[in-house]
């Protein structure tokens, strides 16, 4: 499995699955979540998410990608950051692991991740990048050939690149 970091918009990624940094109700919202819902077709995405019955922190569930280039959207719920001593690192790592597991169940060969929990949930971007890269590097998926970490800005891209040793 190859891991790469790119600058871009998660909704434009030409991969089998993109990951949505969702809320536990899977109701759409701001940031990445809102952008994915709008790009996929808000009505269709809301209806598909409603059928899933929510999602626990650290878990992941899939819907079709509808109007997105990606076939699937894997919705994962990251932790709200308090101080890093209330299970936040473990919950964030679980988001990456569970998203890869769901992608494997879908037989996806490529997946793209945003920086989960770093927006309104307040996770420090440096710590989140470290957890994302370390967790993904420790995985041994069977069908996934490409994992892309997508940053919306140069700073986030540099965090991923530094964690990957590049």
3-state secondary structure 63-79: EECCCCCCCEEEEEECC
Cα–Cα nearest to 82, from 123, 41, 128, 36: 123
Active site residue 138: no
Catalytic site residue from 9, 12, 14, 33: 33
> Cβ(6)–Cβ(148) under 8 Å?
yes
Catalytic sites, residue numbers: 33
């Amino acid at each position: 499995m190859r891991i790469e970091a790119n600058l871009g918009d998660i909704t434009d990624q030409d991969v089998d699955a993109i990951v949505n940094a969702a809320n536990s109700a899977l109701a759409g919202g701001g940031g990445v979540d809102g952008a994915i819902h709008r790009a996929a077709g808000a009505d269709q995405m809301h209806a598909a998410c409603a059928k899933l019955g929510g999602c626990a922190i650290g878990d992941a569930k899939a819907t079709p990608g509808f109007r997105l280039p990606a076939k699937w959207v894997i919705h994962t719920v990251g932790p709200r950051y308090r101080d890093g001593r209330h299970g936040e690192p473990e919950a964030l790592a679980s988001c990456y692991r569970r998203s890869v597991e769901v992608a494997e169940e879908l037989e996806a060969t490529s997946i793209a991740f945003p920086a989960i929990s770093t927006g309104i949930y307040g996770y420090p971007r440096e710590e989140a990048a470290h957890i994302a890269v370390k967790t993904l590097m420790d995985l041994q998926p069977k069908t996934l050939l490409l994992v892309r970490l997508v940053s919306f800005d140069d700073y986030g891209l540099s965090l991923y690149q530094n964690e990957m040793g590049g």
